[in-house]
Amino acid sequence: MMKNKITVLGGGSWGTAISKLLTENKHDVTIWIRDCEQAALIENERENKKYLPGIILPASLTISCNAEDSISHSDIIVIAVPTQQVRLVLEAFKHKIDRKAIIVNLSKGLEKNTMLRVSEICSGILPENKFVVLSGPSHAEEVALKMPTTVVAASDDENCAKIVQDVFMNEYFRVYTNSDVIGVEIGGALKNVIALAAGISDGLGFGDNTKAALINRGIQEISRLAEQMGADKLTFMGLSGIGDLIVTCTSMHSRNRRAGILIGKGYAVDKAIKEIGMVVEGILTTHAAHELAEKLSVEMPIVEELYAVLYENQKAALAVEKLMNRDKKDETDKE
């Protein structure tokens, strides 16, 4: 495999874990961290104690808050910042990024005010660069410990998807390819929304039956919206669909589920976010998904009730009551 020069934008848990993986795959990797003090601390200690404690980073991994030189010479740029920061970061670095560099996105969400997917943000700022989204059931903590993990690399350009497959894949990180960028992005973004709902269910004291129902009906809502946007329904049977949804709804590694648990227990949304201490993508994505569903006239009752809980001060218990007392339907109804 050819050695690539790679810059990872963002030093959260996932950006750090992927930087470690790519360095161990023998690539020349620089991870850009906005906070220079934090970057220096990680560089000296070889550990990201804030986001990925206990994981020692390879000596050959470069950590920098001033990565312009690395960015301008990179074959691959990996986006690992929260979705709401993607536009800001790409605008700041767009003149440094070579037009031949492949953009690989790890962020899972929709931009709040525009309702845009990350691929759409990228195409507006870097129209000549090829884009790949990497998504699937992949907790950073487990990837950093080399636990077997499978993900999907989706791109409109089959060759680019295969390049990313080769660059990222190793004995514990298996990568499949897919051409359905819309489906993979929507699956990755909206699973965080359903995970919030699953967490709220846990916080309310409900059990496995309730969570299984949320996962199953949640994937129906996600695929219904995505199909309306042009996605392939089969994508939601895959890693970025039901695979990612299961892991995010059931694991305590999931910050969305953990935030949901707190909200279910009665925490205010702001207090729950503060308690988690990291970005909870699902909260802003719920806002964007709600607007998108209205715009496209797609019925998404779980999203609708979650939106009411997060943004209209509706009690979580009332949301459950309203979902359970909806009009009778056939399971295969499109709505």
* 82-139 confidence digits (pLDDT tens): 999 999 999 999 999 999 999 999 999 999 899 999 999 999 999 999 999 999 999 9
Is the pLDDT reported for residue 330 higher than 80? yes
In percent, the amount of the chain with pLDDT more than 90 equals: 96
More confident residue, 2 or 186: 186
Which helix or strand (DSSP H or E) is residue 1 part of? none
Task: Give the pLDDT score at 333.
Answer: 79
Residue positions annotated with a catalytic role: 191
The answer to whether the predicted template modeling score (pTM) of the entire model surpasses 0.85 is: yes
Which ranges of the chain does DSSP label H, i.e. alpha helix? Answer: 13-24, 36-45, 68-72, 83-93, 118-125, 140-144, 158-168, 181-203, 208-228, 244-250, 255-264, 269-276, 281-296, 301-311, 316-324
Q: Which two tokens stand for residue 86?
A: 């993607």
Q: Are residues 168 and 22 in contact, defined by beta-carbon separation less than 8 angstroms?
A: yes
How much is the mean pLDDT over the chain? 96
User: Please, which pLDDT band fits residue 32 given cuts at 50, 70 and 90?
Assistant: very high
User: Please, which pLDDT band fits residue 2 given cuts at 50, 70 and 90?
Assistant: confident
Residue 177 main-chain phi, psi, to 5 deg: -110, 160
Is the pLDDT reported for residue 232 higher than 90? yes
